[in-house]
Amino acid sequence: MTPPASPPAPFGARLRQAMDRRGPLCVGIDPHPELLAAWGLEDDASGLARFTDTVVAALADRVAVFKPQSAFYERHGSRGVAVLERAVADARSAGALVLLDVKRGDIGSTVTAYAGAYFGAGAPLRCDAVTLTPYLGYESLRPALERARADGAGAFVLARTSNPEGAEPQTARTASGRPLAQAVLDRLARENAGAEPWGSFGAVVGATNLDSSLELTINGPLLAPGLGAQGATAEDLPRVFGAALGQVLPSASRSVLREGPSEAGLRAAAEREAVALARVLG
């Protein structure tokens, strides 16, 4: 008789282990047309594949997390999505966690369908976590959160993002008088209550965020985009995150990717970022 399968380890625990082992760096894979051109590649599915395969081959055995931006693959249609599907599988096989940047947010059967694409055995883009947007109502995300939990996966929910346009909805006040970003953080803290060493449901809080009034301690990870091209540096992180600094997963994209197509150049750039972050984060 076949013994029952063990439940998957929670994403929060796996992320903490990966960061302890490989360092506190998430590398975004954002194949902008400008980056493809800088690498001498055509802006088509073939160029996309060469770019992505090079990044994965150079870094998947050494960085804690990859964050592919799904939009840059979807724009190439089915061939682009096929590149993404292969990259997710290859990166995970090499030991990197994959946080798929899709920023999905919908209701009912639609968000359930999105969750089926990313979580569970047989999911075509099965990954370790995704980004979600809560602005159709936090509870609209419940099917995705529960599917992730059952699969040992996670999610990062947009709270206070690095883009300046985000301030308008994210600083708006709820009926209770709380900023909407804080209401999202409070809900995530409840999702993660009692989890060790971390819960599996994180928040997206930009490294350019200057809102010191937010309570960021959610017993889960804080994805911090905005390093490099958007102007933030490792030295900004203590000021932005304060007492929650130990929960931060910093994300860098162009500052690493522009050093391609040399695999050695990509590895050296990722190492520089990781060393700078380790000095600040410990």
Which CATH number characterizes residue 93's domain?
Answer: 3.20.20.70
Confidence of residue 179 (pLDDT cuts 50, 70, 90): very high
pLDDT attached to residue 101 = 98
Residue 2 belongs to some domain of the structure: no
Residue 45 belongs to some domain of the structure: yes
The residue type found at 173 is R
pTM: 0.95
Residue 150 belongs to some domain of the structure: yes
Residue 145 belongs to some domain of the structure: yes
- Domain range for 212 is 11-275
Residue 4 belongs to some domain of the structure: no
Residue 140 belongs to some domain of the structure: yes
Residue 164 in contact with residue 139, Cβ under 8 Å?
no
By annotation, the residues acting in catalysis are 103
Half-sphere exposure at residue 9, Cβ-oriented, CA atoms within 13 angstroms:
11
Q: Is 117 a residue whose pLDDT tops 70?
A: yes
Residue 5 belongs to some domain of the structure: no
As for how many domains the chain has, the answer is: 1
Residue 1 belongs to some domain of the structure: no
pLDDT digits over 9-42, tens only?
A: 999 999 999 999 999 999 999 999 999 999 999 9
Sign of CA dihedral 126, 140, 157, 136: positive
pLDDT digits over 127-147, tens only?
A: 999 999 999 999 999 999 999
